[in-house]
Amino acid sequence: MQVLIVWQSDLPNEAPWYIVRSTGGWGIVAVLVAGCHFVLPFFALLSPRLQRSPRGIACVTALLILGEVVYGWWLVVPASGRSFGLVDIFAMVGLLGIAAALALRVPLLPGMPEIVRRHA
């Protein structure tokens, strides 16, 4: 939506930010982010079978998280003036591992509804 607003308003001071992120390999990453954030989850969740499947919902959730990670890289890395490397991947995998470990170790809150406790 931001791209559409900048393009329609013809804001010359905002255009270089998007030019860097739409040329070369970053243009492909922008298409990948759009696919992971909207297109694939939207069409996947149209399936009633997938909607009822915990594994299917987990896969769509993982796709959305992956899309958000790639989107963060798309925002930051072109402006940093350095290339994308293995350190970026290892750092993100480490942070996702820590977040998952914390999320799985948190005890259920006493105020949670009974239906949530049964499924956890």
CB 17 within 8 A of CB 25: no
- The confidence score (pLDDT) of residue 99 equals 83
- The confidence score (pLDDT) of residue 60 equals 93
Residue 114 has phi, psi (to 5 degrees) of -60, -35
**What mean pLDDT comes out for the span 72-101?**
85
**What mean pLDDT comes out for the span 81-108?**
81
Q: Which two tokens stand for residue 19?
A: 């030019």
CB 44 within 8 A of CB 50: yes
Confidence of residue 49 (pLDDT cuts 50, 70, 90): very high
Q: How far apart are CA 69 and CA 28, in angstroms?
A: 15
Q: Which burial class, exposed, middle or buried, applies to 42 when counting CB atoms under 10 A from its CB (0-12, 13-18, 19+)? A: exposed
Of the candidates 102, 73, 101, 75, the one whose C-alpha atom is nearest the C-alpha of residue 89 is 73
Spell out the domain ranges in the chain.
1-83, 85-120
**What mean pLDDT comes out for the span 78-93?**
84
Which residue would you say has higher pLDDT here, 108 or 9? 9
Confidence of residue 120 (pLDDT cuts 50, 70, 90): low
Confidence of residue 40 (pLDDT cuts 50, 70, 90): very high
DSSP letters, 56-101, are HHHHHHHHHHHHHHHHHHHHHHHHHTS---HHHHHHHHHHHHHHHH
